[in-house]
Amino acid sequence: MGWLTFFSTTITGLIAGALGSLITILLQHRFNITRDKLAEERIKMQKTREASSAVADILGEWIKSKCMDSENNINRWHIQTTYWRNIMSLDKDLVKLLVKRFANLPESPEINEIIVEARRILLDLKEQDIKPSDLNTWLPEV
């Protein structure tokens, strides 16, 4: 009866050890998946922040000359370099949105419309969640 107890205890210990190891591996795998997902979300949020900053920089430079009451070559150069520096990191939809405004065509969207649409694109919304009229704009004093 001693051998039978020894073998059953040994086999039970081996099974419990294997089961414990399997549970540990599964929990570690789930932890890794969750950690990787959070890292991807952080990277996506950082890219969204960078793209938002690029759009804001470009638009800010675009209206700067109107706020300064002059449109000289230095302002134009600054606008152009800001545009070039930032436009390379933006996706196609944002570039199309900005180019329309910079062409100064009659059907070009206003800056608040661009911001609202850029927000929709960057946040991957199906439709705009705010209206251009919801945004504050401080126009230059005349």
For 62-77, the pLDDT digits (tens) are: 776 665 555 566 777 7
Q: Does 46 have pLDDT greater than 80? A: yes
> Mean pLDDT for the chain?
81
Tokens 């009659």 locate to 106
Whether the CB-CB separation of 67 and 139 falls below 8 Å is answered with no
Whether the CB-CB separation of 114 and 98 falls below 8 Å is answered with yes
Domain of residue 19: give its range.
Answer: 2-131
Does 142 map to a domain?
Answer: no
Range with the poorest average pLDDT among 39-43, 64-68, 78-82, 117-121: 64-68
**104, 109, 112, 117 alpha-carbon torsion, rounded to 10°:** -130
Q: How many domains does the structure of the chain reveal? A: 1
Going by C-alpha positions, the residue among 53, 45, 66 that lies closest to residue 94 is: 53
The type of residue at 69 is D
- Work out the average pLDDT over 114-129: 89
Does 139 map to a domain?
Answer: no
Summarize pLDDT for 125-139 with one digit per residue, the tens.
899 999 998 888 776
**pTM score above 0.85:** no
